[in-house]
Amino acid sequence: MAERYDVLIVGAGPAGLAAARAAAAAGARVGLLDAQAHAGGQVWRHDVDHRATGLARRRLAFVQAHPGVDWLASSTVVAAAGGKLLVEDPHAARWLDYGALVLATGAHELLLPFPGWTLPGVTGAGGLQALAKQGWPLAGRRVVVAGSGPLLLAAAASIRRHGGHVAGIHEQAGHDDLRGFVRGLWRWPGKILQAAALRARLAGVPYHGDSVVVAAHGDDRLREIEVEGPRGRRRLACDQLAVGYGLVPEVRLAGLLGCRLEPAGAHQRVWVDAMQRTSLANVYATGETCGIGGRDCALAEGAIAGHAAAGRTPPAAWQRRRHQARAFAAHLARHFALAERVRRLAQPDTIVCRCEDAPMRALDGYSDARAAKLATRAGMGACQGRICGSALAALGRFPSGSHRPPLFPARLDTLGDTDFT
């Protein structure tokens, strides 16, 4: 018999934590699950060297202490059927039933292929930030951070805090866009303070606009990178390259459930109304899965979804905060749109699917992602196209595809007890 929750929340980042807090305060029995061992998501990811502070500490403490919240750590959703979710943890798989479901599945990093990006020493910007928080040794290592968006600053600050020497930040957005972004910040004074605090933590670190890493070079690992900027190309020695081109909404569970999805640039996001309701009854979505909006947006939408899922009317203040946060996200998206040259970095022999070692040229002649997958195995590895699928969508090769179970690799006994037809 499936265990039942009044409100079941998938994802324990800022959006999921806010939803859990609101629903539990309304008297609901809440189940909060996440694939990680600790709550917090990427923004408030558990740090082995530094304790959470401020708002993050308070939200995490609430979930851990409230008797109405069950914390289901290290749990992944494998499949969904009949209004229930099949969830696997390190010990067993079980079905969870719910009165209302809140999808707070967040986003994943957009990694675009370029020559040398598979060398040891090259990671995502958010990926290296996560590794640093888990104790990855960075002391004394020369790290270059590159890609697009303010998240590069956050990643660089974390890397520096954990002992890495940040040799420079290379932002693909042009100088006109960067100036336009800064000029528009007067509408969000809090963001000005956040930006100033980040730059203070990165004092002395060079910041280069209109600058793109076009190749990484090395033998058994990364040795140097090739950067293209306003003054042409140059090579820089480094030990680690952290490169990321923003975030992609994580919509696989929503798509599997049958929630209505809508375009979000080259990708997809979950459609929701003002109460964070999806197109399915009793299913809500919040935060980055509804479109990249940042922490403040996730907190506001999480609170709205948590109240609504528990049958309460959210305070009007959360709607105002949501509107402000979404307006800032739109401002950011306008000024950090990917330049066309970034989409042309991959060469015919550049690996695009790291799981199956499929190069770009292997996908030539296919207009359908499924046909390319069957013929080349691209997207059939452990990530199930999560990385290469998003990259190919951003490059304009294939649109985002359909979603089928299992959503994540699962144990054979879990798969054997489940009908995926």
Let me know if residue 343 belongs to a domain.
no
How far is the C-alpha of 15 from the C-alpha of 359, rounded, in Å? 37
Looking at 199, 218, 244, which one is the last position of a domain? Answer: 244
Query: Which tokens belong to 5?
Result: 């929750």
**CATH number, domain containing residue 256:** 3.50.50.60
E strand segments, 136-249: 142-147, 165-171, 207-208, 212-218, 222-229, 232-237, 240-244, 247-249
Q: Contact 32/39 with Cβ under 8 angstroms?
A: yes
Let me know if residue 345 belongs to a domain.
no
Which of 256, 273, 259, 261 is closest to 308 using CA atoms? 273
Q: Are residues 11 and 103 in the same domain?
A: yes
Q: Are residues 322 and 369 in the same domain?
A: no
Domain that holds residue 199: 113-244
Beta strand 165-171 with 207-208: parallel, antiparallel or unpaired?
parallel
How far is the C-alpha of 361 from the C-alpha of 347, rounded, in Å? 8
Let me know if residue 240 belongs to a domain.
yes
Question: Is 209 exposed, middle or buried, given 0-12, 13-18 or 19+ CB atoms closer than 10 A?
Answer: middle
pLDDT tens for the chain, 421 residues long, are 679 999 999 999 999 999 999 999 999 999 999 999 999 988 889 888 888 888 888 989 888 889 999 999 999 999 998 889 999 999 989 999 999 999 999 999 999 999 999 999 999 999 999 999 999 999 999 999 999 999 999 999 999 999 999 999 999 999 999 999 999 999 999 999 999 999 899 999 999 999 999 999 999 999 999 999 999 999 999 999 999 999 999 999 999 999 999 999 889 999 999 999 999 999 999 999 999 999 999 999 999 999 999 999 999 999 999 999 999 999 999 999 999 999 999 898 998 888 888 888 888 877 777 777 777 777 767 777 778 888 888 888 877 666 777 777 778 777 776 665 5
CA–CA distances in Å: residue 257 to residues 20, 264, 411: 21, 19, 22
Q: Are residues 229 and 153 in the same domain?
A: yes
pTM (whole model) above 0.75: yes
How far is the C-alpha of 113 from the C-alpha of 312, rounded, in Å? 46
Q: Are residues 228 and 126 in the same domain?
A: yes
